[in-house]
Structure 1
Amino acid sequence: MMLRLVLSTMVLSVLTGGALAQEAQRPQVSQCQLIAEKIPNVQYANFTPSASGAPALTLAQVQEDVVITFVGHSTFQIDTPAGISIATDFNGWLRTSRTPDVVTMNKAHSSHYTLNPDPAIGAVLHGWNEAQPGEPIEHRLVVGDAYVRNVPTDIRSWGGAMEPNGNSIFIIEVAGLCIGHLGHLHHELTDTHYGEIGRLDILMVPVDGGLTLGADSMSRIVKRLRSALILPMHRRGPPIETFLSMFDDSFDTQISDNRGFTVSMRTLPKKPLILVLQGV
């Protein structure tokens, strides 16, 4: 997969003393939100070469490869160019290849979180507010070359009622990439949500067909975000073809023999690609 997109900006923050701060010491500007214009007519900017045609940054100036591995269920391991490891929807029993520096969690089911994470994990980010249930939680964490933030969403309780701000969409910004994990999403997104999310180059989307959202509703979210790479996850019951059938030929699809891949801004596909990793 090749791309003519140019890496224009990279967020870097160097850890000192080997300790991970739970929150950034200074306000961090999201490179993914900056290109989102006024709601409700959210529009997304394109990356273009400079006027001279030369890249904004060369390979010699920046490390850009990010490794993404599907661990299982809704857990992905994201390894950054600077060696930071981030695990999504970390539940403690799906094992990553190394102890993560950062884990994100959602509380919809026990398969999406653990209240007893390995103490060696540097930062544990809950998608819900433990201290003030119902109130949104906010994470703005800079770790090495990664910036992790969240957009709170509601969840459906076991009784069927909606719990406000019970989960989060987590967004990892690294090496110019905007990577979004929808978590255990239970409702369609509003214009405000889309504005808070901004651009997503890579989207991790649940495709269970009803435990989260039905395929039709979820496909509308995917089509509006129009990420370059769409990674299905959280598949239970319906065959993956049920989800894939919601998209026309404006999206490519690929069934991979591998659980992971390496990606950068320069190698994102030109046309949106739904990439089904091994194990999904």
Structure 2
Amino acid sequence: MKIRYFGHSCFKITTDSGVSIVTDPFDKTVGYPLPETDADIVISTHSHYDHNYFKAIKGNFDIINTPGEHNVKGIHIKGVNTFHDDEHGAKRGKNIVFIMDVDGIKVCHAGDLGHLLTDEMISEIKPIDILMIPVGGFFTIDDRQAVKVIDSLKPKLTIAMHFRTLAVDMPIETVDNFLKMTCGEKIQSNEIDVKKNDLEGKPKVIALNYE
């Protein structure tokens, strides 16, 4: 599969057969260039402007924005209910963690997860191969909490998201400290190609460029 990063929590995952999934598209107020790309499936983890701007996406796509089991265009997708804060949604509402079966690889997008996972949530999500996780804090878990979530889910590849860059003026942290804590690597490309055998060996942590 190919994974392209547009910034914030927005990725485009393209399967080997050409089916494309876009996650959490944002509007122009976020600061990044709009993810004006086509898609077969668009996933939205919650209904905030920086995660559900479907107008930025082209094509006749299916929208997945509810928990439970979904089978769309040959892709199995599971949504697990979580919260956008550490007060059971009292501050920012609910959040859905999505797990997608792509080319024999389980890809988990954590959305705006705002708390550590319960044992029940962990059992619903695991096992996973790739984890896309917010690390910027303030609206979501921070870098330290992200490390704890990684420890609980044990992905083979972790991709950081929802952090501050030169394009974003939100009160969230950069990815730098998270990468130091995890011995992670900043990739200068906005796209990577992942095969199942690439995920063998020691788990990796990366951050992608959005340009």
Q: Specify the TM-score bucket, using the shorter chain as the normaliser.
A: 0.7 to 0.9
Q: Which has the higher helix share?
A: 2
Q: CA deviation at 1:70?
A: 0.5
Q: Which string of whole-angstrom CA distances, capped at 9 and with x for unpartnered residues, describes residues 241-280 of structure 1?
A: 2212333xxxx52221211111111122411111111139
Distance 1:227 1:212 in 2: 19
User: Which residue of 1 is the match for residue 90 of structure 2?
Assistant: 161
Instruction: Please say which structure displays the higher CA radius of gyration.
Output: 1
For structure 2, list consecutive stretches of 5 or more residues without a partner in the other structure: 29-33, 165-171
User: Which residue of 1 is the match for residue 210 of structure 2?
Assistant: 279
Aligned ranges 1:150-189 → 2 under 5 Å: 150-156=79-85, 161-162=90-91, 166-189=94-117
Q: After TM superposition, where is structure 1 displaced by more than 6 Å over at least 4 residues in a row?
A: none
User: Which residue of 1 is the match for residue 195 of structure 2?
Assistant: 264
Q: Does 1:80 align with 2:15?
A: yes
Distance 1:239 1:269 in 2: 28
Distance 1:185 1:121 in 2: 28
User: Which residue of 1 is the match for residue 143 of structure 2?
Assistant: 215
Change (3 A) 1:184 1:121: farther
The one-letter code of the counterpart of 2:141 is L
Q: Which string of whole-angstrom CA distances, capped at 9 and with x for unpartnered residues, describes residues 208-236 of structure 1?
A: 12320122222100122121111001102
The one-letter code of the counterpart of 2:188 is D
User: Which residue of 2 is the match for residue 111 of structure 1?
Assistant: 50
Retained in 2: the 8 A contact 1:108–1:184? Answer: no
Q: Report how many aligned residue pairs link the two structures.
A: 197
Higher relative contact order (CA 8 A, sep 6+): 1
Aligned partner of residue 209 in structure 2, secondary structure: coil
2:176 aligns with one of 223, 241, 244: 241
Change (3 A) 1:118 1:254: closer
Distance 2:92 2:5 in 1: 29
Q: Which string of whole-angstrom CA distances, capped at 9 and with x for unpartnered residues, describes residues 173-202 of structure 1?
A: 011100000000011111111111111111
Q: CA deviation at 1:108?
A: 5.6
For structure 1, list consecutive stretches of 5 or more residues without a partner in the other structure: 1-65, 128-136
User: Which residue of 2 is the match for residue 190 of structure 1?
Assistant: 118
Q: Does 1:90 align with 2:28?
A: no
User: Which residue of 1 is the match for residue 155 of structure 2?
Assistant: 227
User: Which residue of 2 is the match for residue 102 of structure 1?
Assistant: 41
Change (3 A) 1:119 1:221: same
Aligned ranges 1:30-41 → 2 under 5 Å: none
Aligned partner of residue 279 in structure 1, secondary structure: coil
Change (3 A) 1:270 1:154: same
Distance 1:266 1:90 in 2: 29
The one-letter code of the counterpart of 1:114 is Y
Length-normalised TM-score, structure 1: 0.64
